[in-house]
Amino acid sequence: MAQPTQVKKFSLFLNLFKPIELPFTLHSEAHHDFSNQNKSIHPELLTEYISPYIGQNDDEYTEYIPCFLLDQQKNYIAVVVWKAGLLEYGYYVLTYNNAGDLIHKQVIGGMKSDGQRLLSRIAMIDDEKNIHMVEGELKDNQKDYNPQKTKEYTFSLNEKGFLELEH
């Protein structure tokens, strides 16, 4: 059997990501819905389009779920992927050109822990596809939360497919 062409492979990859209705919030449980609704990523597609960019520290516990198509323009296609490993998970925006080459990657939500501290990020994507992320840290089993140390970020996709930090 002949190997699929790069165009066909990239098309198979993109078909895993369905558009969603905006606005949308990526919170700690959102990946469950995507896991139930979307097909898993075939290992060959994972190796081609995701692992080289966000999978450098993968192990046997690492899991990926295709979430949704964020945007598709003439110059780029942006998708959101959920990646989970031990003590961390994250939502990533990956943008590609039409040939399937990565343009940009950016974590926009998730959780990470070193056993002492817990860093949590929640993202809200508005009607105009701007991504508003709030990041906070908890210490000592959530007893030491300091709301003054909460950080807010806003990202927008530019015409070349890069996520730009607005503030």
The residues spanned by each domain of the chain are: 6-165
Question: Which pLDDT value is given to residue 43?
Answer: 93
Question: Which pLDDT value is given to residue 145?
Answer: 59
Question: Which pLDDT value is given to residue 17?
Answer: 96
Question: Which pLDDT value is given to residue 5?
Answer: 86
Tokens 């190997």 sit on residue: 3
Q: Is the peptide bond before 23 cis (omega within 30 degrees of 0)?
A: yes
Residues of the chain with pLDDT under 50: 1
Q: Is the peptide bond before 19 cis (omega within 30 degrees of 0)?
A: no
Strand-pair category, 63-72 with 77-85: antiparallel
Over the stretch 92-112, which tens digit does the pLDDT of each residue have?
999 999 999 999 999 999 999
Question: Which pLDDT value is given to residue 157?
Answer: 96
Question: Which pLDDT value is given to residue 71?
Answer: 97
Pair 107, 91: CB distance under 8 Å:
yes
Pair 96, 47: CB distance under 8 Å:
no
Q: Is 112 helix (H, G, I), strand (E, B) or coil?
A: strand
Cα–Cα distance list, 70 to 88, 96, 116, 132 (Å): 23, 12, 34, 14
